[in-house]
Each structure stands twice: as C-alpha cells, then as structure tokens.
C-alpha cells in the first residue's frame, strides 16, 4: 500500500518547487521596503523600518504565495499537456490541500493586519479577493484565458491592489499623507514588474506550449515594450527622487541593465531576452531606492 507524506510536508515541497523563496520572498521584501521607504523619503524625512514594516512585508509575501497557489489551480488543464511534472498534475499536492492552505493564509494575514488597523486588513483582503475573482473570470472567458495581452490587462491589477495595500497602510498609520506621489509610486512599481514580466515572455522563437507576448506582437515589438516599461520606471523616479540631488538620481543608474538587455536581444536575433538584466533591474532599482531613503537627508 502506497503511503503519502503528511500534508504539511507536501505543502512545504510545493512551496520550494513552485514558490521559490529566494525569488518570491526576496521580491516581496524589496518591493515593500522600496515602496515604503520611497513614500517616506519623498516627504523629506529619513526612513527606518518599524514593526509595521515587517507586518507589511510578511503580508505581501503571504499574498504572493496565495496567488501562486491560485495560479497553480487555474493552469491545471494547460499544465497537464505542457508541464506534466508540476506538483498538482503529478499528485504531489492536491487542489483541496492548496485551498486549505489558502484559507489559512487568508485568516492569518487578516489577523496579522488587524493588529495595525481594520483598513490594513480590508486592503489586503481586497487583493486576495481580486485574485479569486480573476480565477472565476478565467473559467468563464476563453478570451481572458487564452489571449496573453488581454489576460495580462485583466490579471495585473492584483499587483496594483497589493501596492495600494502597502501605501494605504502607511496612510492609515499617519506615516504619510495621501497625495499624487502615491500614484507615481504605484506606477513606478508597475513599470518595474512589467519590465520583468515582458522580458521573461520575450523571445525570437516560441517553444511548444510557451505563452509568450512575443508570439502575439512579434519579438521586436515585445522588446520595445519591455524596454519602454524600464524607461517608464526611470521616468517615475524623476519627480520622486531628482529634487534630492545626486543621491536622488542613484536609482536611475539601474537603467543601464535594461538598455544592455535590449541591445543584446535585438542584435542577437535569436534566443530569449537575457533574464539576468531584467532580474538585475528589479533588484538594483529597489535596492537603490531603499539606500537613498536610508541615507536621506
């Protein structure tokens, strides 16, 4: 008789396989710290992390795990054909176990944020709820499910809602006052993420089963969009950071990475986008924003 490891062990293996901590946790950490620190530094004050900061970091990482578990279930039919080694396909984890873990994450994250304010809990639950709404929409709409760009336009706002949770939490705590800089901050983080998102789905050739934006709009146009989002991220930094002088321009130096990536991709005319440049742009931009805020004034 076949014996299966306990559910916590299977969930642990799922997390290590499909939610690689060195990527997702690092991204969530840098994203929240960059958003919070830049929001504070933009008001002319020095930033230091607080207990509330780590609640926000933990909440965003948990939300990203929740969304990863949700995506795994949404993509099951596609994975059965193109990715037969995925945990849900092989039976290494079950949909019921993932849904149970998602329920625990929801309750735990809501309780964690209740220690800050009811507003924090509601903003975080809005992001998780939007993810569930998207899952239902994808089941009902083949266009959203199968058309890459339409799917991105519909699904990406969940990241905006998570960013709004971080900024809204700062406003609710009285750390910052809501103004135009909040919108610029959310646009900045959107451009950083979308540069990475387009980069990982931009290639001259599309392998079987691959869902590439380049397959819809062509590799050159996809490359230009990828570069355009990097330019947008740099542009958003100008009104937030440039008034601080040379230190404020530090985050803009990260633009060298997507510039080199664009040149390399277009000149090669084969293969995929050089992902180290896209990952490096995310890390360098957020680290530079955090460094600027810590060193201010």
Give pLDDT, residue 239: 85
Q: What percent of the chain has pLDDT over 90?
A: 66
CA distance 19 to 17: 6
Q: How confident is the model at residue 252 (pLDDT cuts 50, 70, 90)?
A: confident
DSSP structural state of residue 272: B
Fold entry, domain 1-31+44-178: Tetracycline Repressor; domain 2 (1.10.357)
Whether 1-31+44-178 and 179-297 share one fold: the answer is no
Give pLDDT, residue 3: 44
Three-state DSSP class for 203?
A: strand
- Name residue, tokens 């079987």: 208
* Most confidently modeled range among 10-14, 43-47, 228-232: 228-232
Task: Assign domain 179-297 to a CATH class.
Answer: mainly alpha
Q: What is the pTM of this model?
A: 0.92
Average pLDDT, the chain: 90
Q: Quickly list H helices, 4-141.
A: 7-18, 21-41, 51-74, 76-82, 87-90, 95-114, 118-140
- Output helix, strand, coil percentages for the chain, rounded to the nearest 5: 80, 0, 20
Question: What are the tens digits of pLDDT across the range 111-149?
Answer: 999 999 999 999 999 999 999 998 888 888 888 877 888
Domain ranges in the chain are: 1-31+44-178, 179-297
CA-CA distances (angstroms) from residue 123 to 14, 31, 59, 107?
27, 17, 11, 14
């Amino acid at each position: 008789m076949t014996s299966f490891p306990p559910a916590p062990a299977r969930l642990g293996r799922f997390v290590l396989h499909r939610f690689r901590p060195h990527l997702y946790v690092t991204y969530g950490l840098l994203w929240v710290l960059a958003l919070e620190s830049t929001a504070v530094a933009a008001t002319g004050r020095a930033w230091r992390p607080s207990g509330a900061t780590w609640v926000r970091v933990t909440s965003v990482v948990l939300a990203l795990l929740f969304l990863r578990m949700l995506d795994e279930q949404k993509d099951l039919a596609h994975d059965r054909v193109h990715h037969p080694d995925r945990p849900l396909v092989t039976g290494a984890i079950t949909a019921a176990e993932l849904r149970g873990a998602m329920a625990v994450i929801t309750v735990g994250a809501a309780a964690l944020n209740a220690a800050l304010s009811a507003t924090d809990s509601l903003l975080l639950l809005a992001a998780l709820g939007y993810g569930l709404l998207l899952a239902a929409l994808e089941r009902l709409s083949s266009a959203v499910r199968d058309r890459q760009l339409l799917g991105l336009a519909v699904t990406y706002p969940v990241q905006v809602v998570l960013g709004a949770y971080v900024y809204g939490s700062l406003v609710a705590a009285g750390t910052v006052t809501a103004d135009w800089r909040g919108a610029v901050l959310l646009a900045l983080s959107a451009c950083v993420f979308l540069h990475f998102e387009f980069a990982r789905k931009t290639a001259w050739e599309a392998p079987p089963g691959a869902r590439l934006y380049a397959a819809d709009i062509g590799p050159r146009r996809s490359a230009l969009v990828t570069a355009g989002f990097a330019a947008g991220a740099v542009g958003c930094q100008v009104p937030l950071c440039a008034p601080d002088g040379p230190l404020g321009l530090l985050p803009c130096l990260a633009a060298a990475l997507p510039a080199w990536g664009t040149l390399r991709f277009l000149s090669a005319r084969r293969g995929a986008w050089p992902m180290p440049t896209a990952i490096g742009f995310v890390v360098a931009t957020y680290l530079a924003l955090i460094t600027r805020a810590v060193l201010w004034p």
